[in-house]
Amino acid sequence: MIRELRKKLQDELKALERELRHELPQEIKRALALGDLRENAEYHSALERQSYVKARMGQLTKRLGELGSFNMDAIPRDRVGLGSKVFLSDIESGSEVRYTLVMNDDVDTEKGQISIGSPIGRGLSGRKVGDEVTIQIPSGVRRFEILDFLTLHQQETGDTAAREPATGAAPEVDEEE
């Protein structure tokens, strides 16, 4: 998970570097050729984009530095934590859902990947199989029972003994990040 996130951020950084070094200078040069800079929307737009790209590159560089010093040993091996695939039973409806707890940069609610910092992510962190959790989310209260989970360590070693939800469907995610 950390490797995939690092690659995703490096790819974005590489694309932004290309834009900053090759594409934006050409756009600025074209806009300068149009004349009067005070009323030149293309010129101002290119400068704004250049400023955004530089800021985003700074954010990505900082995030990559943080990921480089990430300590995998800090992730629990016996409880739900970052990277865990968690299989739950919704106590109210009886349906089974699966969430994967990821970092904010990697959230994809359609795939059931939710932020570990989200209300549901925080509510599940540190829990074990059999625990019942009550989680306050923006639309109300949800109650789950943890049926099973697969830690990040188990996934990286190929120990995928956890089961899939009975429905096989992507979970409904109803929370604000």
Q: How do the pLDDT tens digits run along the chain, 177 residues long?
A: 677 878 888 999 999 999 999 999 999 999 888 877 778 888 889 999 999 999 999 999 988 887 777 777 778 888 999 889 999 999 989 899 999 999 887 888 899 999 999 999 999 999 999 999 999 988 899 999 999 998 887 777 776 665 554 444 444 554 444
Q: What is the pTM of this model?
A: 0.65
> Where are the CATH 3.10.50.30 domain residues in the chain?
73-157
**Kind and range of the H or E run holding 58:** helix 41-68
What torsion do the CA atoms of 65, 66, 68, 72 make, to the nearest 10 degrees?
A: 180
CA distance 125 to 59: 27
| Residue 144, Cβ density class (10 Å: 0-12 exposed, 13-18 middle, ≥19 buried) | buried
78 pairs with which residues across the strands? none
CA distance 43 to 27: 8
Minimal CA–CA distance to 24: which of 42, 4, 5?
42
CATH 1.10.287.180 for domain 2-70: yes
Q: Interior CA angle at 154 toward 86 and 112, to 5°?
A: 30
Minimal CA–CA distance to 145: which of 97, 90, 94?
90
Under 8 Å between Cβ of 67 and 2? yes
> Where are the CATH 1.10.287.180 domain residues in the chain?
2-70
| Residue 36, Cβ density class (10 Å: 0-12 exposed, 13-18 middle, ≥19 buried) | exposed
Residues 6 or more apart whose CB falls under 8 angstroms from that of 41 comprise none
CATH number of 73-157: 3.10.50.30
